[in-house]
Chain A
Amino acid sequence: MLYFSKLRILFITLFSVLFILIASSNLFKFDDNFFDKKINLGLDLQGGSYLLLEIDNEPVIEQKLQNLTTTIRNYFKEKNIKINNIKIENQNIFFNVIENDKQSVLDVFQDENSDLNPYYPRFKSHQLEIEDTGLNFKVNFSRQGLIKLKTSSQDQAIEIVRRRVDEVGTNEPNILKRGNNRILVELPGLDDPMRIKSLLGKTANLTFRFVTNDENDRFGVEKLKFENGLEEATVSKRIIISGENLLDAQPKMDTQANQTIVSFTLDRVGAKRFGKATSTGIGKQLAIVLDGKIISAPVVRDTIASGSGQISGGFTFQTATDLALLLRSGALPAPLEIIEERTVGPDLGQDSINAGMIALAIGFMLVIIFMFVKYKIFGLITNVTLIVNLFILLGVLTLFEATLTLPGIAGIILTVGMAVDANVLIFERIKEELKDETNNILAFDGGYTKSRTAILDANITTLLAAIILFFMGSGPVKGFAVTLGVGIFTTLFSVYFIARLFTSIYVSRNKNKEKLI
């Protein structure tokens, strides 16, 4: 156990120096082309905002089922099968057909090549499930169908969220999927997430629809409130143009009326429809509806064929900018709800870093003094090892660009406290060996060999706890698991290579010394 070959010594030295260099790259700036890795600071240390959004898929499902009823009706019409009493209840479509048609309806739904009911061979499942309840058919989304629907609305939503966050222009946002109906948004450096929160909270579903007094409008009507929440208007359900038809939207100052407006440009289809509607609807009120609320309902005075127009509605410059941003980035497929928010101001983050560093320095000093007083020369060896260990730990974290959090710093301090354990186990064992062994070298050898199982077991148990924490914990706690877990490996390395190297050098020079430890 005490012999080290020259090659091995070289390897240990190089390895330690390499990691010390890597670790110090966090303090001194190296050439970026040469090495540009850094430990990331968690949101709790650099300040920033963590938002967990949940997609409310209910309206999407409702909408899809609504569309399906039409599709089903038309599909079977072509096949000369009449669908009766079709209705939606609790996310199920119910309908019935005459007895003779029953089998052909079932066949269509259960056909693997059906274009009405797509089949997913990978999951051996259709999009829709059909059940003959005797009285009527019950159609609903299968488990896979629902998952497909959720993931596709998540894909769309994350795209829109990204666009909106990018437009606001925060630095290095982190936008990730969580499960199949959640989106995680991390915004470093942002201490007031108010604006982003209100932007993400809006679906931004824009429609242009005529105000009508005709209750028997062919498309149906609905009563909608104005933004101010006071007035109401009856609006046709017929959509002239929607947000999808927008090419661009920008806030502008209308110098004539001296108010802020949002001007927009329409795509070809939108321009055509808008032109037609404004030519036939002169004198009527055109309601501009955003997320079920009327922004304004101007009277159409002229045919607008240019494909551009403007929205006014008593905006401030800020609200006009935000509305333009929302319109540019597109509508969310479903409403988002912020179900978890954690925001840390940058000065608290800096305070936490300072406190963590002071605690680390003091903890480190206390342990070092304790070890030196207790073990003298071997304490010194342990302390040097401890310092190298700390650097290697920081080096590994840098290499993997791990995220350091406040609990993560606590994990490092704890590692310092527990890292001495392995050395203490060895030294205590050597002391025992020296009681009946006069040969120093043999005693040291025995000390290392006999303490090995205890050290291994002890570290594996801590590692198990760290692994569970890593997989079950979230955010800052995960940072703790990382430093604790990595700390175990670096500790074992420094105890078995660095400390042992020093010990071996010292012991072979003092072979015959009595009371060595």
Chain B
Amino acid sequence: MSSVSSIRQQLIAVQHRASLGAFTLDVDVGIPAQGVTGVFGESGSGKTTLLRCIAGLETGSGTDSRPPHQRGVGYVFQEPQLFPHLSVEGNIDYGRRRAGADGLDKDHVVEMLGIGSLLSRKPAGLSGGEAQRVAIAAVLLRAPELVLMDEPLASLDQQRKDELLPYLDRLHDELSMPIIYVSHSIDEICRLCDHLLVIDDGSIVADGELHAILARLDVPVLAGRSAGSVIDARPERYDEGYDLTLFRFSGGELLVPGHYEAGAPRLRLRIAASDVSICRTRPQQTTILNVLPATIDEIQPTGPATDLVRLAMGSDYLIAQVTRRSVTNLDLKQGDNVFAQVKSVTVRH
């Protein structure tokens, strides 16, 4: 059984059960009808299969019989699939003409993705990032009810990724169209998504608001190198002499290199678990700028030598990756008041 249908105003039901060879996909979740939902998982976990089922491209046993063109689901592939015999504009109009219904304004989408100067070109002359922007514009103008993005940055080098990401930020900020964004990069997920599904071996193992899911310690896929949390913080003061911006969040203050406009809306900060360490007493004379009082909320063993510790500060959480030996030596327990040292903070968005 499979369907994409509005069950409530706020949720889109995504239910798929499909067997493809030895692999079984079994998904039954509701995703928000607004904003970007990330799908995170390791390679082979079924991320792409899930998208292909939603789009109707996979005809595994027991899937919906509607063909892809009747589903109202747009698909941005990892490699942009532009039609070489059409111009950029012809590619954009291909889906728009067939959709019939008027969706987004063409000029607006063209401007939003910065492809106005490319319209008369042929796809063969575009860079990877340009081609992906054209593909995204073509999908948006097809007026889909749901947009699927399958690792749209994965085939690009770092420079092209950095070039495309601000455009994806704009989609996130300016469009209300629901987007499912598949990635194995937790950094991209943290930057672009509001909601997170974690998929493992064909099943959804965690589903919810991004901050809440990242704060969980019991999701093995998130326990490795991807462990870390995000917090929303407001830039408050810029110190020109040291090029540092002071951010305030519910648990205190953080100094972050770079200039961020004071009074700007909340920004999303990502702090990796490997960049957080724990002290029993407030450390004196340390090179670490950010030392924050915190309470140990939970300790979870994740490897033979390491534990993840969730630290509560205000309404936010930090996750620290520490060795089990340190946990034993410092006799860390749930409820203890400690100090968290934060070595590095990445500002997203």
Please determine whether chains A and B interact with each other in the same assembly. Answer: no
